[in-house]
Every structure is written in structure tokens, then in C-alpha cells.
Amino acid sequence: MTFKVLITDHPGATLAVERSVFEPAGIEVVLAESTDPEELATLAGDVDAIATCFAEVTADILDRAPKCRTIARFGVGLDNIDVARATELGMIVTNVPVYCVDEVADHTLMLILALARRLVPFARDTASGGWNRSLEPTPIRLRGKTFGAVGLGSIGSALVPRMQSLGMNVVGLGRRSTLPAGVTAMDSLGDLLAVADVVSLHLPLSASTRHIIGGRELAAMKTTALLINTSRGGLVDSEALTAALRAGRIAGAALDVTEPEPLAGSHPLRSMSNVVLTPHYAFSSDGSMADLSRTAAQHVVEVVHGRLPDDVVNPSVLSSPTLRAAELAS
């Protein structure tokens, strides 16, 4: 093998897909036994690339990887990678932005329907021997209500026809030049929160979006509104959400992602009847996981063999004097 890639953690049950890409390209896999930062930093000392799913790839790890040319993310979000430090060191960072659009859109729709139809309390009651059609509050009719998409990238946009098919009006925050058909643009988050019966978050996590939904925003929502988050847990202030649900300031929430993740076993959000929680698996399906593994691995292959990969998230590095893949200099 000519090159080495450190896999900090990976999305699938095995590395069969990744190995099928790496081995013909002369790339040896170095698999970490844990995501302990010190172990990762030690292993990174002799690799040409790092591929990561959820593990934190910190500045210290990058500083101790003198040969590393690229960091490939098995996923979309980049909050677990110090992209700024990678760029300073001349490393190309990639992600896989469109591998699970249908999966996350479908999962979001499922969560909305589960909340609106009160699936979890009815299912729990029936499974325990009950047969109660009168559990309160009653399910919600979605037709004629307003769906608010906070973020209209690929996933937010994919939800638009799904929600329209339920007879919902759709409002959104996004680039006006690329709004999907039938979406009414909102001027601000506050304007959207005031009119939406369902608020769904579809944003990356950054310094500017962390806790974009906090106590003030929850107070601005309708008391009958539902909050959905299938993006990043840090978009929502968990303690503010807990307080709002307890006080009846909103009607319910469905979360595939939380802060922290996972929530403590005793966290009150786990036991509320108007909350639906799933374990950060909206992205998952048999097809999406194979696509994810294959695409991220191919990004590594391209860089170590001197070719420009798709989905570079720090393009400024290509004109940087520190670029380690010098043959790709623009």
C-alpha cells in the first residue's frame, strides 16, 4: 500500500464499502479502536488522510498529522472538524452533502405525522393493554395549517412537496432566488415563528446558528405549534425547550438530534408525552449508507492521487501556499 487513511469512526456496520474503494487505490486503512482524542492524535501521525463520521477532529489532532492532505467527513455537517485549522495547515476538507436527502425528508415527515397524530402515546397505551381513543389532547389536522422551513437547502426543499401533498401552506427562510415553487418567503425568523404551525429546522450548526431556537424564539411560536429538528442538536437550547413544553408555550417537539447527544437517561424530554425522540438516524437507509461510505472514500482517493475531489468545503485552501496537495494548486 502506498498511502494510509485513518478512519476515526464510520457509519456502517462494516468497512466493506470503504475497503472496496481504498484497496484498489493503494490505500491502507488504519481503524481507530476508539474516538479518544489522544489515540486519534497518535494514529494521525503517519497517515495521508483522515475519514471521520462523528468523532471530534480537533486542532491538536490535525497539528499532529504532518503528512495528512485531506479530511473526509462521512456526512454533511462539519461541526466535529476544525475546518479553520485544517485550512491553515493546507488540508482539503470534504463532505457528502446530498447522500441522504430523501431519508431525512421522509424522517422529518414521519416525525411531524407522529406528533400530529399522537402516535407515541396511542401506541404505548395500546401496547400496554389499553384501547383508549380519547387520549388528550386530540390529534391535529394538518390540512390548511402552515409549515415553516427554517433553511431551504436540499433537505428543506425536498420537504416542500411532501408538506404540500398534505394540504399545508409552506413558508420558509432561504435564498429568495432559489425558493421552491409555492413557498412564501419570510423576511425573518420571527416572522416565520409567528405564523407557522409546524417549525422544522434545516440549517448547519455554526456560531451564528447555535441555539437559534431558545427561550425567546419558543415564546414567539404559537402555543399550538410543533417544533421539529432533524439537523443538529445545537440549533435548539434543550433546557429552554424543556421549560417551554412544561409551561405549554408550544404543543410538542420531535427531535432526531439533541444537545447533548445522547440526552441523559433521566432527561425530562425522554418522558414527555408530547415529545418524539429518535437516535440521530434520520440519515440512515440501506441505500444512503452505501452511498455515503463510497462517496467519502472516493474523495480521499482523489486527493491522495493528486486529483480535485467533489464537495470541497474549504476551497480557499486550493490557492493557499500551505496546500499539501501541491499539484492541485489553483
Q: What pLDDT digit, counting tens, does each position of 152-198 carry?
A: 999 999 999 999 999 999 999 987 777 899 999 999 999 999 999 99
- Nearest residue to 186 via CA among 200, 170, 201: 170
Alpha-carbon torsion, ordered 52, 53, 54, 58, to 10 deg: 20
Which residues, listed in sequence order, are joined to residue 57 by a DSSP beta bridge?
81
* Coil vs helix vs strand at 223: coil
> Does residue 316 share a domain with residue 222?
no
Query: What is the mean predicted confidence (pLDDT) over 187-216?
Result: 97
The CB density around residue 62, as the number of other CB atoms within 10 Å, is 22
How many Å apart are CA 88 and CA 145, to the nearest integer? 48
Judged by average pLDDT, the poorest of 18-22, 101-105, 128-132, 171-175 is 171-175
Q: What pLDDT digit, counting tens, does each position of 68-108 carry?
A: 999 999 998 899 999 999 999 999 999 999 899 999 999 99
> Does residue 230 share a domain with residue 105?
yes
- Helices 101-116 + 119-127 axis angle, to 10: 70
pLDDT of residue 241: 98
> Does residue 196 share a domain with residue 131?
yes
Q: What pLDDT digit, counting tens, does each position of 231-282 carry?
A: 999 999 999 999 999 999 999 999 999 999 999 999 999 999 999 999 999 9
> Does residue 223 share a domain with residue 94?
no
> Does residue 84 share a domain with residue 212?
no
Look at the chain and report how many structural domains it folds into: 2
Give the residue from 259, 277, 295 where a domain finishes: 277
Task: Identify the domain containing residue 193 by its residue range.
Answer: 101-277
Task: Give yes or no for residue 293 having a pLDDT over 80.
Answer: yes
Contact at 8 Å (CB) between 183 and 95? no
> Does residue 246 share a domain with residue 106?
yes
Task: Give yes or no for residue 1 having a pLDDT over 70.
Answer: no
Q: What is the CA radius of gyration of the chain?
A: 22
What's the predicted TM-score (pTM) here?
0.86
> Does residue 172 share a domain with residue 71?
no
Containing 21, the helix (H) or strand (E) segment is helix 16-22
Catalytic sites, residue numbers: 232, 261, 280
> Does residue 113 share a domain with residue 207?
yes
Nearest 5°: phi and psi at 57?
-105, 95
> Does residue 240 share a domain with residue 290?
no
How many Å apart are CA 48 and CA 37, to the nearest integer? 18
| CATH code: domain of residue 89 | 3.40.50.720
pLDDT of residue 328: 83
Residue 307 buriedness (CB in 10 A; 0-12 / 13-18 / 19+): exposed
* Percentage above 70 pLDDT, the chain: 99
> Does residue 317 share a domain with residue 254?
no
Contact at 8 Å (CB) between 178 and 153? no
Task: Give yes or no for residue 223 having a pLDDT over 90.
Answer: yes
> Peptide bond before 137: cis, by omega within 30 degrees of 0?
yes
> Does residue 107 share a domain with residue 95?
no
> Does residue 109 share a domain with residue 68?
no
